[in-house]
Amino acid sequence: MKGNDKIIDLLNANVTAERVAIHAYILKSKILENWGYEELAGTYMKRAHEEMRHLDALLERILFLGGPINMTGDIGKCDDFDHEIGAMLEHDHQLELGAIKAYNQLAEEALTLLDHGSRALAEKHVQEEEAHCNWLEDQIQILKDVGKPLFLQEAV
């Protein structure tokens, strides 16, 4: 089946975004593990695996639509955040907000072009990214409420 080029381009844009998220979550998991925050590191690795499932679904959809897959995009740089958990959480929150926006754009375009398979995929991923965003918002608020020492005590 040959899909719409605009949909394939939007799917590929999300491929790049998911690759960024995967690398960011893996790196941050390792940073947190190095800092001794094993529980939080495990949560970050779990997020990386969730983003890998998103990437897998995107790749399958692009292949189904007969489109080329673009895996050459820049995945950017992720700093070590110098033990600043708040900056790390805020960075991830921005990544998730970007993903939500991108998946909503894909869902809208897919609906317009009557590509209900791509729309359903995008809507499913929006819900999952919204859950990630909500978790990050909760963590940011908890960090503000209890302070860094108590927040990190729970992350050990």
* Per-chain mean pLDDT for the chain: 90
Q: What percent of the chain has pLDDT over 90?
A: 73
Can you list the domains of the chain with their CATH numbers? Answer: 5-155 (1.20.1260.10)
Q: Choose the weakest-confidence range: 43-57, 82-96, 113-127, 136-150.
A: 82-96
Following DSSP, what letter does each residue of 32-81 receive, concatenated?
A: HHHHT-HHHHHHHHHHHHHHHHHHHHHHHHHHHTTPPP---S-------G
Question: Is the pLDDT reported for residue 108 higher than 60?
Answer: yes
Burial class of residue 1 in the structure, from the number of CB atoms within 10 Å of its CB (0-12 exposed, 13-18 middle, 19+ buried): exposed
Q: What is the pLDDT of residue 153?
A: 83
**What is the 8-class DSSP label of residue 114?**
T
Contacts of 59 (CB under 8 A, 6+ apart): 15, 69
Whole-model pTM?
0.84
Q: Give tens-digit pLDDT for 29-81.
A: 999 999 899 999 999 999 999 999 999 999 999 999 999 998 876 655 655 55
What confidence score (pLDDT) does residue 11 get?
Answer: 96
Identify residue 96 by its one-letter amino acid code.
E
**In this predicted structure, what is the pLDDT of residue 134?**
96
CA neighbours within 13 Å on the CB side: how many for 96? 23
